[in-house]
Structure formats: C-alpha cells, structure tokens
Structure 1
Amino acid sequence: MTHSILDRVSPYLLLILTTLFWAGNFNLARAVSTQVPPLGLSYWRWAIAALVLLPFVWKHLASTWNVFKQHWLLVGALALLGITGFNSLVYLGLQTTTAVNGVLMQSVCPIFIIILAAFLVGEKATALQWLGIIISLIGVVIILIQGDIQVLKTLSFTKGDLIVLLAVLSWALYTVLLRKLPLALKGLPILGYTIILGSMMILPLYLYETFYLNHPMPISWISIGSVAYVAIFPSLLAYWFWNYATAKLGASRTGQFTHLIPVFGLTIATLLLGEHLHGFHWVGGALVALGLVLSNWQPKKL
C-alpha cells in the first residue's frame, strides 16, 4: 500500500471516492439490515480488513512497539471508539432507522468535534461557532422528532436515530483524541493498531449476538458481498485515500469533504433504496448545513 500509485491521482478525486464509499456503507447496512446481523457485519468487516492490512503494516507496528506500550491506553480507546463503537453502533442503529436519517445524523459530527475539542483539548470555540452549534443541534432535534413537537413532549424518539447519534458522538471523540497521539504512531501504525485491536474488541459482541441472541451470520451471496464491500471500500481504501489526501492537502481542507457524505448518502437512499425525503428532513438538514457554515466561517482580516 505505497503512495506511488496514488501520486498519479488527484487527491480531490480520492476524497470524493472516500466519501462516496462511506455513504455507501450506510445505505448497504440499511439495505441488508433484515438479512445480515449488525454485529456480524461489523466484526467480519474489520477482521478481514485487518488480515488484508497486516502484511503492509506489520513492519510499522514492530518498529513502534515501544511507543505503543507507552500509549496503549490511548490507542485502545481510539480502537474502541473509532472501530468497535462507531461502526457497531451505526449498524445497530440502521436496523430501526432509515439510511436518510443515518447520513443526516452523520452531518452533525463536525459540531460534536468542536464541542469536545473545547472541553478536552482546550481549543476555544468562537461565539460564531457556538451559534452554529446551537443551530445545527436544533436541526438534529427536528430530524429526531420528525418535525412533530408531540414526539418531544413524550420523548418517544426512534431508537435507531439515537443509536446512530451515539455512534456519531463516538466518532467525534475518536477524532479529538487522535490529536493526543504521538507523532511516531500516526499514519499506518495507528491504522494497523486500531483495526486489529478494534476487530478483537468486536469479537465478544459478535459471539454474544451469534450464540446468546441466536442470530448467526448467514453464509449467502448477500452476506459475502456485503462484507467484501465494507471491508475493502469504506475501510481499507477509504482510510488509505483519506490519509494520503490529508498529507497532501492538510487536515482542514480535507475535513470539509465530510459534508459530501450526506449528499451522496441521501442520493443513494432515494434512488436505490426507495426512501423518501420529507419536509422535516429538508428543514433539519438545512439547519445542520447552516450551523456547519457558521462553525467553519473565518472572516477575512482587513
């Protein structure tokens, strides 16, 4: 997995493909939600990704082993949040909510990152950013209650929406904690450590789902194809492309491409899954977008 091949490709094209792969992950999980168990899909996604990745990263893991031992708690937390927690929660949530709602919940992740960064790493948010946070959260609430104030009064939210929102919070915390990672572990080492450790952490949950809940992973073309897609495209290729583009363009410019995930996700959901956008989706999504614009607004200095 050297970068020589990617040097021939525009990093912007790689970022577009990355967000398309991640949007497809949401829609595929929703499409197979009645046929493929969520924790089974999560486990095999990362177990296969780990096996494919290992030959390319084992030298990096060996050379950074002493650094890893010094920061094992942080690396373990990153694996738990970014691999085990986020992906498993997303797949669980999409059992009972739509792909449309799932990708819209994902769009609020940058807001969570701003809030957590302010409290955990001391990055102070401006008044404009806090205004954006409030507006985006109002948009998320509108989606959660489906535009019906009576839902808010009875607190009868869709369970799947709340689970996906928890997944987004997990990813935001993972992103903020990445900033505490020592330089020696960044890049391929942390990718290898988190994927390997994350897949190991999912294993007990997968076994619980298989034997205690009696929901084993079926062997079918649908399950095999689903696992192959999520292991290769939104996992290995997407992370590889994302890391390369970040090195080329910088984190700030790269991060803005996450806003394409809802665009691609909503398009796929409406065209392929037959899901429909309602008025509350448009209103909530518009408020989330407005909040994101305000949160990232940097007035030009005179």
Structure 2
Amino acid sequence: MISSPPRGSHPFSLTACLLLVLAPLFWAGNVVLARGVADQIPPVTMAFLRWSGAFLFLIPFTWKHVRRDWLPLRAGWRHLLPASLFGIASFNTLLYTATQTTTAINCALMQTVMPAAIILCCFLLYGERISLLQGCGVLLCSAGAGWIVLHGELARLAGLQLLRGDLLMLIAVFCYALYSALLRRRPEVHPLSYLTVTIGLGTLLLVPLFCWEIGRVAAPAVSPTVVGSILYIALFPSIAAYLCWNRGIDLLGPNRAGLFINLIPVFAAGMAMLFLGERLHSYHLVGLLLVAVGMVLFQVQAHRQPPSAGRSSR
C-alpha cells in the first residue's frame, strides 16, 4: 500500500476529498443498483457473485501478501471466521434481501445509524464506556432508524405493520457494526491480505445458501443488465471504494474522513429518485434529523476515543 504521511500531519487535500467522495458514491450505487435489479438477480446469488468476482479479481494482485501473511492469518482464524460471517456474508446478503421489499432510500438512511451501532457493540463486547451524552446520541440514532422503519406511524408498531425489508436492513446494520467492532482484534497482517482472506471466507460461507437459493429459484438470465450489475458491485463498492477510502484516510486523517460516510444516504436518495422514481417522504427527513442530532451528541467526545484499528469493506 502507499505509505501514510507522518502521524498528526494531515493537511487539507483536494485529492483526498475527491477520493472520500467517490467511496460513498460507489457504496450508494450498490444500494440503488440492488434495488433496481431486485427482480432479476436473487439476493444470495447477487452477494455470492459479487464477492466471488471480487476475490477472483483481487487474488492475482494480493497473493504475494496472503502468502507472506499466511501463518498469522491461519493463527487468527477465530477472528477471521466471524468477521467474514458478519461483515462479508451476512451484511450484504441481508442488504440485497432487504431491497426486495423496501426502497433504496430506506436502505441507505438506515445505514446512518451505523456509528451508534458500532459504539453499542464496542460497549457490549469490550465494556468500552461511553459518556451520558454519547448514550443519548445512541438513543436518538436508534429512534431515528426506528422512525424510518415505522414510516413515521407509531400505529404500525401496535399492528406489527412493518416492512420486512426495513427490519432486515436494521439487522444488517448491526451485523456490520459487530464486524467493525471486531476489527480491533484482527491479525497484524497487510490490509490487502486481510481483505482478500475475509472476502474469500465470506464467499465460502455463502456457498450453501447460494446452492439452496438456486434450487428454489431460477438462476438469473444472462443479459447486459445482469452482467453489468455484477461487474459494478464486484469492482466498485467491493474494491475501488475500499482503495479510495483508505487512501483518503491516509491523506486527510480518520476524524475528518469519517464525516464523508454520511454522503451515502445523500447520494443514494438522489440516485434512487433519479433512476428508480422513488420519493423522499417527511418521515425520512424526521428520521435523518434524529440520527444527525444523535451523531452530533456522541461525536462531541469522539476525539477521546482511539481510532479504529482496522479498515473494512462494504
């Protein structure tokens, strides 16, 4: 990987900003595309083809790193297995399944609760204490996500009239939050070794579900739309976004770079309205406002938290 600048030296960089805008753009495109082809590509098949394609593309370039890091990777299997399960196999399969029954806008907005979910997972796993202010922020973020799930109607809770896709997306968010919390225990290996191995393991974990799904539904018909979709999700949100994001962090620093993740719902909402004809409703705005206020509350003391030990792929 390209070397990082000296610690503490993160001057403003237009290049870094461009890279950190491209990563959320690619991730937002993943959500919108999944919704757009939901009737053409089954969700598990889409996840399997995405990650197997990304693995096949990566391995010729990263094999030297994997081979060099093989011993610590093998010793760290107790971390790699759950990380691959939650971060690669579960998150994306649940996301693609969610797009079958809810909108791309909902899926994107639900991801704004991710920082709060990560804090909660770190508290449950490591007993990492949070301040009262951060606790209030977590509650507000959860309330915002809940408001989006309920579509702004509390009566849906009483009547259990919830969209299956919204609930699946909420579970997906917590799966990825758990994966992010687990990163601090990752083996001391090259980032590309870690990415390649977790993608490979995640793909293997999807094989039984993939076979089950193919036995129940027809395989997607080969068409320019299907092929183009698979190529996009295998290359851009899986690999290009990862490289852009990490290089941007190297140039700008993790604290300022982290703010760019909030561009995902902005880009996704715009693309969903433009390409899918979806509409932005008042409950979206209320939920997003609650999440934004919650994030401000727990980010007030975020500088006191140690930076994340690892880097991830969405």
On whether the aligned pair clears a TM of 0.5, the verdict is yes
- Provide Cα deviations, 1:9-46, integer angstroms capped at 9, x if missing partner: 81221110000000010000001111111111111111
* 2:205 corresponding residue in structure 1: 201
* 1:103 corresponding residue in structure 2: 108
Paired AA for residue 104 in structure 2: A
2:23–2:237 Cα contact (<8 Å) kept: yes
* 1:46 corresponding residue in structure 2: 51
- Provide Cα deviations, 1:77-126, integer angstroms capped at 9, x if missing partner: 11111111111110001000000100011110111001111221232111
Q: Does 1:258 align with 2:261?
A: yes
1:210–1:217 Cα contact (<8 Å) kept: no
Closer/same/farther in 2, CA of residues 293 and 208 from structure 1, 3 Å limit: same
Partner SS, residue 185 of structure 1: coil
Structure 1: segments with no counterpart, 5+ residues? none
4+ residue runs over 6 A deviation: none
Closer/same/farther in 2, CA of residues 155 and 143 from structure 1, 3 Å limit: same
Q: Does 1:150 align with 2:155?
A: yes
Q: Does 1:178 align with 2:179?
A: no
- The whole-number CA distance in structure 1 between the counterparts of 2:149 and 2:134 is 22
- The whole-number CA distance in structure 2 between the counterparts of 1:147 and 1:65 is 50
Alignment of 1:261-276 (within 5 A): 261-276=264-279
- The whole-number CA distance in structure 2 between the counterparts of 1:43 and 1:58 is 21
* 1:81 corresponding residue in structure 2: 86
Farther off after superposition, 95-104 or 114-123: 114-123
- The partner residue of 2:35 within 17, 30, 36 is 30
Q: Does 1:91 align with 2:96?
A: yes
Paired AA for residue 228 in structure 2: G
Q: Does 1:278 align with 2:281?
A: yes
* 1:210 corresponding residue in structure 2: 214
- For the aligned residues, what is the CA RMSD? 1.9
Q: How many residues align?
A: 295
Shift of 1:254: 2.4
Paired AA for residue 124 in structure 2: F
Q: Does 1:160 align with 2:171?
A: no
Partner SS, residue 101 of structure 2: coil
2:134–2:301 Cα contact (<8 Å) kept: no
- The partner residue of 1:227 within 213, 216, 230 is 230
Farther off after superposition, 290-299 or 80-89: 290-299
Alignment of 1:279-298 (within 5 A): 279-298=282-301
Partner SS, residue 155 of structure 1: coil
Shift of 1:157: 1.0
- The whole-number CA distance in structure 2 between the counterparts of 1:117 and 1:35 is 38
Alignment of 1:239-254 (within 5 A): 239-254=242-257
Shift of 1:300: 10
* 2:129 corresponding residue in structure 1: 124
- The whole-number CA distance in structure 1 between the counterparts of 2:24 and 2:157 is 32
- Provide Cα deviations, 1:213-232, integer angstroms capped at 9, x if missing partner: 12312211111010011011
Shift of 1:260: 0.9
Q: TM-score, normalised by structure 1?
A: 0.93
Farther off after superposition, 242-251 or 215-224: 242-251
Partner SS, residue 218 of structure 1: coil
Partner SS, residue 10 of structure 1: helix
Shift of 1:54: 0.3
The percent of aligned pairs where both chains have the same amino acid is 41
* 1:137 corresponding residue in structure 2: 142
Q: Does 1:18 align with 2:53?
A: no
Paired AA for residue 198 in structure 2: T
- The whole-number CA distance in structure 2 between the counterparts of 1:76 and 1:276 is 39
- Provide Cα deviations, 1:205-244, integer angstroms capped at 9, x if missing partner: 1111111x12312211111010011011101101111222
- Provide Cα deviations, 1:165-223, integer angstroms capped at 9, x if missing partner: 111111100001001113x2251111111111111111221111111x12312211111
Partner SS, residue 179 of structure 1: helix
Shift of 1:57: 1.0
Q: TM-score, normalised by structure 2?
A: 0.89
2:69–2:190 Cα contact (<8 Å) kept: no
